[in-house]
Structure formats: structure tokens, C-alpha cells
Structure 1
Amino acid sequence: MTENRQSRREAVSERKRELILDAARQVFAEEGLDGASLRAIAVRAGYTPAALYFHFDSKEAMYAEVLQTSLESLGAEVGSAVSHASSPHQKLKAAAMSFFQFYAANPRDLDLGFYLFRGGMKPAGLGQDRDLRLNAALEAALHPIAEAAVELGASRQQGNLLMVDCFAHAAGLLLLLHTGRIRMFGASAPELMETYVDSRVEQLGQGLRHADN
């Protein structure tokens, strides 16, 4: 009986934690990290602000948890896309395009990931330990790009640089897409991303062929 009561208490606590995180995700999506308050999150979740502290010590801790979940979903989607590719070329393209497509389809996740830009272009973060953990999750989601480049014959450094380049290009196109600025140019963000990835793969192949000659 004691074990059953303990299990029920743990289940209730976990459910409460999930409700708080769901409310936090909604508030953060609407208000951003700076604009959100523990009181607003508590009201959305149906609890008192004091109740939140049984599960999280700050709104930054909640934000980190929400973003971690988002990055894990991103990594799973990229990993699934890569698992269906048969060649290094296809793996690289699948990884880069699935990364772009995840954020194209989930603009609120993109907002979560770019929390550093809330309040202007200035250094910010969620605390060193949280930032390191979240950066590692983002890098893990992008890592299949570098791995595929190495499979194609690139050095580790070249693969890592290509990974960064793909991330930067995707971020720029996603910004244009979600702000509607892409319409100014009569262009398609997905098509531009695909063209970019194809061109980088081709450049990588040409560079390696030149190195062999």
C-alpha cells in the first residue's frame, strides 16, 4: 500500500510538472523570456506562483526545460530523416533540410531557440550550465551534417564548418520566412535552402577532387 501511495504521489507530481511546462511554453511563446512572469505561468497552469517553486527554481529553469524538449524533438526529426538516406550525399541533404523544415513548420520553436535575441542583439543566456547543455543539444541535432561531410571525404574541420554554414544559412532564411520578408524577393525559402545545400555539397565534392589531383 505504501508503494502504491508513493507511486500515485509521483504520478500526480509528474502530471503537475507537465501542466506547468505546457503553460510555460504557451506564455514564453507569447511573451518571450523577458516578458514572461512566474505569475502568468502559474495562472495559465491553474496553480499559485508558490506551487511552481516545488518543481522549478526560476523561470529560466522552466525556459531551459521547454527549450531542451524542443531541441530533442528537432534532433529526433533530423535523425529520422538521416536514417532513411542511403548515401553520404543524401544524408547531408536530409540532415540540413530536415533541420530547416522543422523550424519552418514550428515557428514557436524557432522563437524559443533564439531567446538570446530577446531585447536586442546583446549577450544573454540562461546560466552557464544551462547554456552549455542547450548548446550541446543543438550541436547534436546539427552533427549529422558534419558526419555526412566526413563520410564524403571532408576533414573534421571542414565538416564542422559546413555544419555551421548550413545553420547560419537556414537561420537567415527562416528569419525571412517567418517575418514575411521573403515575399519582397518573390522567392521560396525552402527552394533557396535546397539550392544552397546542393551547391555546398557540390563545392565540397569539387574541393576534394582537386585535393586528390
Structure 2
Amino acid sequence: MPRTDPLPDARRRTILDAALEVFLESGVDAASVDEVRNRSGASVGSLYHRFGSKEGIAAAVYVDALRGYQAEFVTALDRARDAADGIRSVVRTHMRWVRANPDRAQFLFAIAGSDVRRAASAELRELNEPFFAVVETWLRRHVEAGEIRAASFDVVYALWLGPSQELARLWLARGRRGSLRTETTLLADAAWRSLRVESDEEDQ
């Protein structure tokens, strides 16, 4: 388990950024703590004191990336004017975050495996519980208002962000060619059409 380090500072950021580079190049299994140490300038003692192990470093990189993504997701919901704006804004936010943070997205989607998630399990529970509470509360409000379809959270997620997630994975796997900008509006509109309660009115 990684050791807790509750106050992110410049030194921690340097280590996490260096570790991300190493993991992207070598994968978590083949990466070495020595290489992270070389690139970050941290001592071996400092690395083990802060993170406990290589798996602890990888877990910290994972949690750090996910925390940034979730913060932008929640901000998009907080700023949404209505259900349609919220659904569309989250899709746009998802795609914008991937474009702006391709290395972190690559790590989350393709590099980090179940071992990393297990090492981060305590931190992920602490991070995910309030995040999903916010999202589910927002969805419930609009379901009860008759604006969004009633369905399980998994189904809502698949309709809302499944296509965007798959496109992001393909973009990363194919060497990040293209901007992802053109597709964002199409995906955002498709997500809203799939989740909105049908009516005779035109989409706003």
C-alpha cells in the first residue's frame, strides 16, 4: 500500500511526472524505481518514505490523474444550466481533458492494470465515494424532474460516456492523430439524445 502524503507539493509533482514518463515508456512491471529516482532527482529513501514501493508510486500516479479528471467533471455539472447542458458539457469536458492530458489518459486507460488499482484501493474509495455521490445526486434530480431517462447507473454511464471513452482509447492507441475536436459536438449531442426523455419538442 502507498503511504499517505496528504499535502501535494512541488517535489511530489516532480516525482509523479517523472514516474508517469517512466511507466509510459516501460510499463509498470518493467519500470524501475531507480529510473524514477534518476529522472525526478529524488533519493531512494524519499521515494520509499512517500510511496512505499514501485506499486505505491504507480498507485499515486493513477489517483493523481483520476483526481484531476473528476474535478473537471464535477465542475462541468456544477456549471450546467439544465440537464441537456450537463450531459453535453460532461462529454465535452471528457474529450477536452483527454486532449489536454494525453499521457495521464494513456496511463489510466491502457497502462495501469488491476495491480495498480488494487494498490490504490483505499485512496480510490476515498476519492470515488464523494465523486459518485455528486454525479448520482445530479442525475437523480433530473430523472425525478422527467428530463433524463430512469436507468441503472451503469447503463447511464455507457450511454453518456461510453462512445467518448472508446474514441479516446482509439485516439491514444493510434498515436494521438487528429484533434478530437470535430467529434466532440457530435458525441455530446448523441449522448443527450440517448438519455433525454422523449418529447415532441425539438432539442434545445
Paired position in structure 2 for 1:103? 98
Q: Which residue of structure 1 lines up, in the alignment, with residue 64 of structure 2?
A: 69
Asked if structure 2 preserves the Cα contact closer than 8 Å seen for 1:24 and 1:63, the reply is: yes
Q: Find 1:173's aligned residue among 160, 167, 188.
A: 167
Identity %: 21
The corresponding residue for 1:52 is: 47
Q: Distance in 2 between matches of 1:15 and 1:82?
A: 29
1:42 match: 37
With normalisation by structure 1, the TM-score equals 0.69
Would you say 1:130 and 2:120 are equivalent positions? yes
CA 1:145/1:167 → structure 2, altered by over 3 Å: closer, same or farther?
farther
The answer on 1:194 being equivalent to 2:185 is yes
Aligned-pair Cα RMSD in Å: 3.7
Letter of the structure 2 residue corresponding to residue 169 of structure 1: P
> CA shift at 1:193, angstroms?
4.0
Q: 1:142/1:42 Cα in 2 relative to 1: closer, same or farther (>3 Å)?
A: farther
Q: Equivalents in 1 of 2:61, 2:139: separation in Å? A: 29
- What does 1:116-127 correspond to in 2, within 5 Å? 124-126=114-116
The unaligned stretches of length 5 or more in structure 1 are 1-9
Cα distance in 2 between the residues matched to 1:102 and 1:197: 14
Give the Å deviation of 1:145: 8.2
Q: Which has the larger radius of gyration?
A: 1
Q: Which residue of 2 aligns with 1:147?
A: 138
More deviation, 136-145/146-155: 136-145
Counterpart CA distance in 1 for 2:175 and 2:35 is: 32
